[in-house]
Amino acid sequence: MPEGPSIVILKEQVQLFKGKKVLNAGGNNKAIDKDRLIGHTVVDFKSFGKQFLICFKTFTVRIHLLMFGTYRINEEKDAKPRLSMTFKNGTLNFYTCSVKVIEEPLDEVFDWSGDIMADEWDAKKALKKLQAKPDTLICDALLDQDIFAGLGNIIKNEVLFRVRIHPESRVGAIPVKELKLLIKEVRHYAFQFLEWKKEYKLKEHWLAHTKKICPRDNVPFHKAHLGKTHRRTFYCDLCQELYA
């Protein structure tokens, strides 16, 4: 599933269509009236967490790429798109994704301060939201999009390793100082992720995710599907402290 930094890259790549009118729309998605898009001009592209937003004057098309969604700009895959849009200067195609229309103003739908990539990101709010869930495992709390919109499994594993916190630690048992460090590292690593992804060097910088040996202790990593989210987790019992 693309994480927040990858959606920011998508937003940057499609800027050539901003201010352009949709000449044709298609795809096998049945959740929206695709003909409604024709003749409307894209006024902006936005992202919120893992959601990509195509903004028109009176409504917004929301794209969620789910686990295996992809997109193509001015080219096509050997598959039917879920949504395709044709502009005078090119085409935009989305595959294996969720598509819906948002009628309300976006500021009424999204709390931008919860997006780890947004200028409006508020670390203090994130801390309060975390502290309101003291019995939640930190591996689950990090994936909670109401707290950390845009944070996915890669960021979860990398951040927990970098701040030396065991993924099965209870939020309420983690010292406030460590929670603040964790939140700071989420934001820091998210922008490193963005930079490395643009350079096609993201995997080169992974310290924990998919790794077999801890680079600090030179012992085997544990690999397990932890918490209620049951997502793949890579961690070291020696250097990541368990707060229970």
> What are the strands, taking DSSP E only, across 69-120?
70-73, 83-87, 90-95, 98-102
The single-letter code of the amino acid at 189 is: Y
Residues 6 or more apart whose Cβ sits within 8 Å of residue 21: 39, 40, 41, 42, 87, 88
pLDDT over 90 at 1, yes or no: no
pLDDT 10s digits, 104-147: 999 999 999 999 999 999 999 999 999 999 999 999 999 999 99
Give me the residue label for tokens 């050539």.
16
Residue 229, phi then psi, degrees to nearest 5:
-75, -25
Q: What pTM, to 2 d.p., does this model score? A: 0.94
Q: Which domains does the chain have, with CATH numbers?
A: 4-109 (3.20.190.10), 112-235 (1.10.8.50)
Share of the chain above pLDDT 70, in %: 100
DSSP 49: T
Q: What is the pLDDT of residue 142?
A: 98
> Tens digit of pLDDT for each residue in 40-81?
999 999 999 999 999 999 999 999 999 899 999 999 998 999
